[in-house]
Structure 1
Amino acid sequence: MKIKLVIGGCLIVLAAAGSSLAGQAQNNCGCGLGSMLWANKADGSILSQTMQVTTNGLFGNQTFGITSGTLGCEQPESIGADDRTFAYVRDNMDGLARDIAVGRGEYLETLAELLAVPEDSKGAFADSLQDNFSQIFVTGEEPAEVILERIVIVAG
């Protein structure tokens, strides 16, 4: 009798936990085509989540969704840097410093592209970096990661 009560209690707890986690599927799978296609079938089960994440992985669409703010993804409001941008800054520090000092130039334009600065904000981006040149290049000996971090902070 006690065993039946314990098993019954466990089943009730598991059922309650399963139903309360059913809405959490997107938290595990993220946004993207899979999450959109399987949204009506998202019951929080392993199978449902596996289908969502597999579809997202097969189509590789989450980057597009995040960048464009589609497919259930949120578009970031602030500028951020990735490995490619870091490599660019590292390999072009001198040219970038010259362009930031004058507020224009090819290196600065490329950096704005890599940071996905909207076209209508590129002038303000360049002006902001130029105005804050001394906060970005303090000693002239900083490593690229420090420079890039300061650029992102200034560009906000």
Structure 2
Amino acid sequence: MKRMFAALLLGLFVAAPAFAVNKDNVGCGLGSMLMQEKEGLVWEIMATTTNGTSGNQTFGISSGTLGCEKPAKLAVREQLDRFVADNMDALAVDIAMGEGETLGTLAELALVEEGRKADFFAALQMNFDQIYPDGGINSVQVVDQITSVLERI
């Protein structure tokens, strides 16, 4: 049994160069970075295994590193979280009025199309009490509420 496994493994290493497969098969991650100049099935399997078992592919996707792209929605959410945290009071005033520079910046960060901005502003203003229910709300909760309103318009 051991000899059969060894023979199969040896056969893969010898035949691997004949299987130059598209590098897109393995995805992004540390394994892909380490094996990027290698060709063949065995190298792709090693890259895939490294990407999948060490958890680095998840890190790469969420951080936009290791040859991975960060999902647009995640990047937008991070920008919104940071902006709202830095502008809680000014944003509350602008939402209450249904206009303002802070609200305009929020719309741009949320990727609201130009033709939908007026509806976005009006929807936020109508839902002000939901977005800012009390003085104890934090910025993450505000973004959650704003996102909820944005999904409905």
TM-score normalised per structure 2? 0.57
1:105 aligned onto 2:108? no
Residue deviations 1:82-109, cap 9 Å, x none?
1x43232122212211111121111100
Distance in 1 between residues matched to 2:69 and 2:6, nearest whole Å: 42
Residue deviations 1:8-34, cap 9 Å, x none?
344578889x99997633x326xxxxx
Q: Determine the structure 1 residue equivalent to 2:77.
A: 81
Instruction: Give yes or no for contact 1:99–1:107 (8 Å, CA) kept in 2.
Output: yes
Instruction: Give yes or no for contact 1:79–1:117 (8 Å, CA) kept in 2.
Output: no
Consecutive unaligned residues in structure 1, runs of 5 or more? 30-37, 68-75
Distance in 2 between residues matched to 1:42 and 1:132, nearest whole Å: 56
Distance in 2 between residues matched to 1:144 and 1:124, nearest whole Å: 22
Q: Determine the structure 2 residue equivalent to 1:8.
A: 7
1:145 aligned onto 2:140? yes
Instruction: Give yes or no for contact 1:79–1:155 (8 Å, CA) kept in 2.
Output: no
Instruction: Give yes or no for contact 2:20–2:39 (8 Å, CA) kept in 1.
Output: no
Consecutive unaligned residues in structure 2, runs of 5 or more? 30-35, 48-59
Q: Determine the structure 2 residue equivalent to 1:24.
A: 25
Instruction: Give yes or no for contact 1:136–1:151 (8 Å, CA) kept in 2.
Output: yes
1:123 aligned to which of 118, 121, 126: 118
What pairs up with 1:37-52 in 2 under 5 angstroms? 45=43
Distance in 2 between residues matched to 1:9 and 1:121, nearest whole Å: 61
Q: SS of the counterpart of 2:133?
A: coil
RMSD: 4.4
Distance in 1 between residues matched to 2:123 and 2:10, nearest whole Å: 60
TM-score normalised per structure 1? 0.56
Q: Which amino acid aligns with 2:128?
A: F
Q: SS of the counterpart of 1:6?
A: helix
Distance in 2 between residues matched to 1:147 and 1:85, nearest whole Å: 10
Distance in 1 between residues matched to 2:22 and 2:98, nearest whole Å: 51
Distance in 1 between residues matched to 2:102 and 2:110, nearest whole Å: 12
Alignment identity in percent? Answer: 30
Instruction: Give yes or no for contact 2:21–2:40 (8 Å, CA) kept in 1.
Output: no
Q: How many residues align?
A: 124
Distance in 2 between residues matched to 1:131 and 1:99, nearest whole Å: 12
